[in-house]
């Protein structure tokens, strides 16, 4: 279905880290919708280009006034008055930008328009956003995703000193989404009590997980297992996921684990052996970005050794890009793909990445970014595409909880 765009307007707002990002309002008929884009700290070099002003006099160079101007000038001239559907809009934006990585207009400018259009189209058709997105990919049965709840932050998301970026709870042995969220919250608060009693800091990192200065990555896992038990659950009911974000500790051909005592400099084979040791010692289900973003051989070895036991997830490796996902399929490097809207820059391309992942028999995991907004688009995206997993952060920080709360609303809608 095509609809005419009556108005579009962008502005500079702040994300959850207090850095600028782009928000767009778009009008179709009498329906006004808005969308805002997130920003990552641990970003892959193959991601679509996030346009920043680089003006040291504003926000340390992180302003997005150029991206805002591109929406209000270049893009608005092309789309206002046009009758478009999602595919036509997104392809028009891609063509207007004219670069492989969207660096002329900025993926942040393009994505904000694409998301706002999707939301306005849903309103114009009297649909929930997840239903609108579901029609685009022909979803016949809506389901709630399994939440991956970040409970301890490391890497670039905190100053904890931990090498692994995310330590996640996976409350699997529960039917209802609301019960999975309840269990995650109970374990989160149990861990807080454990840390507090042991005189560790209980402040949180970018994604809402705790960021204590621990002696090792293994100690973080030990604390998680203890918190699961003391909250009244077993590690059969609640498993653990890791986002190593290995690109962040890869340098000069080696992997540097600075949280180890003493610090270690590992080859790819030695890093794989460490992951195998962790998998043997702890109740792992997911390992994301276990190797650097272009270490295809490392990923292939990891998938060969652990792919039948764990979800081996590509994020920096695949960056929601169908060309990178196709290469991963050819190399059998992973068996799951992280999906981030702003890595690729349009709703249509994101849906294509999800479809390609499913066609390979792999698992798509819808994900937030470390610099988030209160926009809940990814919650509807997960339901609309029947994605099996969602990463939205921890059980604290409003920009993380907003996604979970939206899913609680959706659960009522699709079950009632």
Structural domains of the chain ordered from first start:
3-126 (3.30.390.10), 146-415 (3.20.20.120)
Residue among 192, 340, 391, 403 flagged as catalytic: 340
Q: What is the predicted pLDDT for the residue at 155?
A: 79
Residues in the chain where the model's pLDDT stays below 70: 41-44, 157-160, 416
| CB proximity list for 151: less than 8 A, separation 6 or greater | 167, 168, 169, 184, 187, 188, 191, 209, 210, 224, 227, 394, 395
Q: Residue 77: count other Cβ atoms within 10 Å of its Cβ.
A: 11
- Please say if 166 is a catalytic residue: no
| CB proximity list for 344: less than 8 A, separation 6 or greater | 47, 48, 107, 319, 320, 321, 350, 353
Name the token pair of 320.
């929601």
Q: Is the CB of residue 119 less than 8 Å from the CB of residue 379? A: no
Residue among 23, 128, 186, 207 flagged as catalytic: 207
SS3 state at 406 = helix
Q: What is the predicted pLDDT for the residue at 233?
A: 98
Q: What is the predicted pLDDT for the residue at 45?
A: 81
Q: What Cα–Cα distance (Å) separates residue 342 from each residue in 22, 194, 272?
A: 12, 36, 30
Q: What is the predicted pLDDT for the residue at 66?
A: 98
- Please say if 340 is a catalytic residue: yes
Q: What is the predicted pLDDT for the residue at 322?
A: 97
| CB proximity list for 398: less than 8 A, separation 6 or greater | 374
Confidence (pTM): 0.96
pLDDT tens-digit profile of 359-410?
999 999 999 998 999 999 999 999 999 999 999 999 999 999 999 999 999 9
Nearest to 313 by CA among 336, 284, 341, 291: 336
Q: Is the CB of residue 48 less than 8 Å from the CB of residue 342? A: yes
Q: What is the predicted pLDDT for the residue at 129?
A: 98
Nearest to 115 by CA among 39, 10, 51, 33: 33
Q: What is the predicted pLDDT for the residue at 154?
A: 87
The phi and psi torsions of 120 (rounded to 5 degrees) equal: -65, -40
């Amino acid at each position: 279905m095509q609809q005419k765009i009556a108005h579009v307007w962008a502005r500079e707002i702040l994300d959850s880290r207090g850095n600028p990002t782009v928000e767009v309002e778009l009008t179709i008929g009498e329906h006004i919708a808005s969308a805002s884009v997130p920003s990552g700290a641990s970003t892959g070099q193959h991601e679509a280009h996030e346009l920043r002003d680089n003006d040291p006099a504003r926000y340390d160079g992180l302003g997005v006034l150029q991206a805002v101007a591109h929406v209000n000038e270049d893009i608005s001239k092309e789309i206002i008055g046009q009758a478009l559907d999602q595919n036509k809009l997104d392809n028009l934006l891609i063509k207007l930008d004219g670069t492989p990585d969207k660096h002329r207009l900025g993926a942040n400018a393009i994505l904000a328009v694409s998301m706002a259009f999707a939301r306005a189209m849903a309103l114009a058709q009297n649909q929930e956003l997840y239903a609108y997105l579901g029609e685009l990919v022909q979803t016949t049965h809506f389901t709630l995703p399994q939440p991956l709840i970040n409970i301890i932050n490391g890497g670039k998301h905190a100053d904890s000193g931990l090498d692994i970026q995310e330590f996640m709870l996976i409350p699997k042995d529960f039917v209802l989404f609301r019960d999975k969220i309840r269990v995650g919250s109970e374990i989160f608060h149990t861990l807080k009590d454990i840390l507090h009693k042991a005189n560790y800091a209980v402040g949180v990192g970018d994604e809402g997980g705790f960021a204590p200065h621990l002696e090792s990555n293994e100690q973080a896992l030990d604390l998680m297992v203890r918190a699961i038990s003391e909250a009244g659950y077993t590690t059969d009911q609640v498993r653990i996921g890791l986002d190593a974000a290995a690109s962040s500790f890869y340098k000069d051909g080696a992997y540097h684990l600075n949280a180890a005592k003493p610090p270690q400099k590992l080859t790819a084979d030695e890093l794989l052996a460490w992951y195998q040791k962790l998998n043997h010692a702890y109740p792992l289900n997911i390992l994301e970005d276990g190797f650097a973003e272009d270490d295809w051989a490392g990923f292939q070895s990891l998938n060969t050794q652990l792919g039948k036991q764990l979800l081996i997830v590509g994020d920096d490796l695949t960056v929601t890009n169908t060309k990178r996902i196709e290469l991963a399929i050819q190399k059998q490097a992973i068996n799951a793909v992280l999906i981030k809207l702003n890595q690729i820059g349009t709703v249509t391309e994101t849906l294509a990445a999800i479809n390609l992942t499913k066609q390979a028999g792999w698992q798509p995991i819808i994900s937030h970014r470390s610099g988030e907004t209160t926009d809940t688009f990814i919650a509807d995206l997960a339901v609309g595409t029947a994605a099996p997993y969602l990463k939205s952060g921890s059980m604290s920080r409003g920009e993380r909880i907003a996604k979970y709360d939206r899913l609680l609303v959706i659960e009522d809608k699709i079950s009632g």
